[in-house]
Copies of this chain bind each other. A is one copy, B any other.
Amino acid sequence: MVRFEVLILGNSSATPMYGRHPTSQILNFNEQLLLIDCGEGTQMQLFRYGIRSTRISHIFISHLHGDHYLGLVGLLSSQHLMGRQSDLHLYGPAPLKEILDLQFKHSDTRLRYNLIFHPTNPNERAVILDLPSLKVSTFPLQHRIACTGFRFEEGVRPATLNVEEVERQKVPTAFLKLLKRGVDCVDKKGIVYKAAELTLPGDKPRSYAFCSDTIMSDAYFEAIQDVNLLYHESTFLHDMVDRAKETFHTTSREAAEVAKAVNAKQLLLGHYSARYRDLQPLLDESRAVFPNTTLSEEGKWFAI
């Protein structure tokens, strides 16, 4: 099965404390590395966890609060200094380009590789990357400033052989590959081997959704329906729900309610407020509503 995992580089909200870092994640899809958000310190975190930043092909920035993008100029500059040559695709709010250009201008930096910027639309759902193996889409979140979530969805997974039927019909080995691709085969004696009989449909494509930062709102529920793994911000405990609403954030209990409402298989919490040194209460609160909750931990890979 193709690798599809996420590595947490930062799980802190805006004020990083206790050794926690601002938001950043590496998605490994079949050894292709995608970066989701790029808080301050991302390049140091990549080094710490043994990820070569030049392997990253796509970067996705949710919004322009500093804790979600301030590591970007450093990361892009370092890749330039390390001799990166391959293209790098960057997706984010339109003004991000102006911010990068201004900083590159004053540092007299001319990147040696192509940085291809794709502005995201904060108002509507959109497919922003559509490969046969992977589709990435954005959807509006409800934050204090324009903010998008991201959904990463595997392409259709190949059919598998119906081993019992293959044995019963004594299918010649040479035909197996074609049958898996859905092609019917005929041997020299004229016997027909039908793909529909000899294969089983592939597993359901897996998907990952990233929701940070936002208040809980059913406006984005459809966009993240049925995901295998849902990363949802849970900045506060529910006793601070008023503060959460005021600052356009979510509580742990609400994150769990989202996971339940959209039929997610698993929930990953993150974007913890600096007021919580101990995170166990956030986990307990979420599990009471949605048992399959996990705390995102920096340096840890989570399978999708």
Contact = CB atoms under 8 A, between A and B. Distances in A.
Contacts of A22: 74
A78 interface: yes
A164 B247 CA distance: 67
B103 A16 contact: no
A107 interface: yes
A63 B106 CA distance: 9
8 contacts: A16-B44, A16-B74, A40-B41, A40-B44, A64-B103, A66-B107, A70-B70, A99-B106
A74 B107 contact: no
B19 A78 contact: no
A40 B42 CA distance: 9
Which residue, A19, A40, A48, A67, has most C-beta atoms of chain B within 10 A?
A: A40
A47 B95 contact: no
Interface in A80-138: 81-82, 93, 95, 98-99, 102-103, 106-109
Nearest to A16: B44
A79 to B, nearest CB: 9
A178 interface: no
Given A70-B70, A99-B103, A145-B107, A81 B15 contact: yes
A48 B19 contact: yes
Interface string A1-34: 0000000000000111111011000000000000
A108 B47 contact: no
B107 A65 contact: yes
A106 B73 contact: no
A82 B15 contact: yes
A48 B21 CA distance: 12
A71 B66 CA distance: 10
Given A14-B78, A16-B47, A99-B102, 20 more contacts: A15-B78, A16-B44, A16-B74, A17-B47, A19-B47, A21-B44, A40-B40, A40-B41, A40-B43, A40-B70, A40-B74, A64-B103, A65-B107, A66-B73, A66-B103, A66-B107, A70-B73, A95-B106, A99-B103, A106-B145
A77 interface: yes
Contacts of A67: 74, 77
